[in-house]
Structure 1
């Protein structure tokens, strides 16, 4: 009994650590945005998304180098994309009125659009590599340099978009410098706690999966991805409660871009050959699901639907939830 209970207690400890540090991370990220004149969307896209996605990076690298478990690495990265987009359902439910999609800056569509490109391309290359036609350079898939290039183009495009609308900075020059330094210090301390707990999560998740007897693709796509996405979940909900919906959503969308970049990094350190050729084709379904969900988000932000089912969530969120459940079921049913 204790053998099965101990991993759950470890998981709870990780969640508590992240639950304490997450709101601190958000508050100081928001302060950095105000003090520098940068938008909440940019801070969420870069600072928060990177800090909350580092557990996926460490999990992926260790999975393909130490554990020789490429399916865990791919499932974690792509499953996290689905999990992050499913978090929009939670945010919509917490938003009540007005709908979440009517509160979001339409600049988020730019990031979501790049997410469609990156995730969709990744799914396509997985299928191509399964038939040996994807192409490779040494042991690396040709998709890897493409993913890296698109990621940095996305970051630059988002930065240039935000620069079109300069924002006022809080406080006088001298006071702003002191306040910014303190905000950065507190942000770094909270980020360290989130990264430490998030790094511990995949090991706890693997231990729990072994105890429960779950399969590798299912574990990577659903359980490990869910575990390493807890930082995004806590930070995102904290941002929404702070009244910073754009900060919350930018964190989720930015994390998706970073998760695909992680797959490219995993491919670089996986020496037996292209990572996409060594993993289950089931991951292409996960990538397709995340692409569809990104498309639903884009359509919702542009259309701004007002109808809500039982006054709780909109039909867009129901569609996101349905695609997410389909992805999880497919992974469980046909995963290796």
Structure 2
């Protein structure tokens, strides 16, 4: 029965994510936001809802390893998704189509992940109002980054997006549909994560590995589908912005679970293997930034997919490493 519930929740999550991506595309077309801001903020926040619920649930059942590993694991899997789509659709050259502002989002994601890795390696031990000092620094860095991104991205709104749905769906219907799909993802994604955790836990695999790959992979299904749909719509900025924006948004989940955790700073309570996971996020994020920069150099067009292939291979190697150290 547990497997039936898991598969049913996965199917509902995927179907809702398809509608979510479609409605987000309409909102981008019918407003001044464009695919860049819709992908980076609106869509990224909605598709990250399963991660929020899963991590909070893990904290409430006193399992900080799954809570934190789910966040970093989701970021790892998101980068894997972007690299996979870039390889599968290499003729479209997704990364070469990226708006320059995407690099700013990627750098912000890199900085936030770096801050959290530093906090795991060198915890301050200072707790203020129920959360570690590092989380307040994270809030300040995130806020400053969002203000900068919002200001610059609004000034550089993409004007060339094709009108896919403007004749079919009204803005009001798109907003209502987007909200409804987000709620469905919140519920089905949470159920998916909970049942996935129970299935994985029954195998005896460590919580860190379960959170990093099983749970993170399950909660990242919305990102996978929305990116796939965005690519099919040739809305590459929304596809890339969804991944990079989700990785930025996911860092906020650490703040939420730290306030909810009652055993001190949540980063100080995790398994040491989380260091490898966080460092892996930094590594793959750096490769993506390099890939975007390299993709603009047309003299290397024949080797265009090499960085993304490197990400895919590295992801599987890191998976084995994390499994080995967490066993």
User: TM-score, normalised to structure 1's length?
Assistant: 0.89
Q: Which residue in 2 is equivalent to 1:3?
A: none
Quick one: distance in 1 between partners of 2:159 and 2:270?
A: 48
Quick one: distance in 2 between partners of 1:327 and 1:17?
A: 30
Q: Which residue in 2 is equivalent to 1:50?
A: 45
Q: Which runs of 5+ in 1 are unaligned?
A: 1-5
Q: Find 1:7's aligned residue among 2, 6, 15.
A: 2
CA shift digits 1:173-197 (9 cap, x unpaired): xx99x92211101111222222221
Quick one: distance in 2 between partners of 1:138 and 1:333?
A: 37
Q: Which residue in 2 is equivalent to 1:271?
A: 262
User: TM-score, normalised to structure 2's length?
Assistant: 0.91
Contact 1:14 1:198 (8 Å CA) reproduced: yes
Q: Which residue in 2 is equivalent to 1:124?
A: 118
Contact 1:120 1:291 (8 Å CA) reproduced: yes
CA RMSD of aligned residues (A): 2.1
Secondary structure of the structure 2 residue equivalent to 1:97: coil
Quick one: distance in 1 between partners of 2:38 and 2:157?
A: 14
How many residues end up aligned between the 2 structures? 318
Q: Which residue in 2 is equivalent to 1:229?
A: 220
- Give the stretch that moved more between structures: 10-19 or 23-32: 10-19
Q: Find 1:300's aligned residue among 291, 312, 316.
A: 291
Q: Which residue in 1 is equivalent to 2:188?
A: 197
**Distance change in 2, residues 1:199/1:161 (3 Å):** same
Instruction: Give the 4+ runs in structure 1 shifted more than 6 A.
Output: none
Q: How far did 1:46 drift?
A: 1.1
Q: Find 1:151's aligned residue among 142, 149, 159.
A: 142
Q: Which residue in 2 is equivalent to 1:40?
A: 35
CA shift digits 1:34-83 (9 cap, x unpaired): 11111211101111111111111111112112x10000101100100100
Secondary structure of the structure 2 residue equivalent to 1:272: coil
Matched, 1:23 2:18: yes
Q: Which residue in 2 is equivalent to 1:186?
A: 177
Quick one: distance in 2 between partners of 1:16 and 1:62?
A: 21
Q: Which residue in 2 is equivalent to 1:163?
A: 154
Quick one: distance in 1 between partners of 2:193 and 2:172?
A: 32
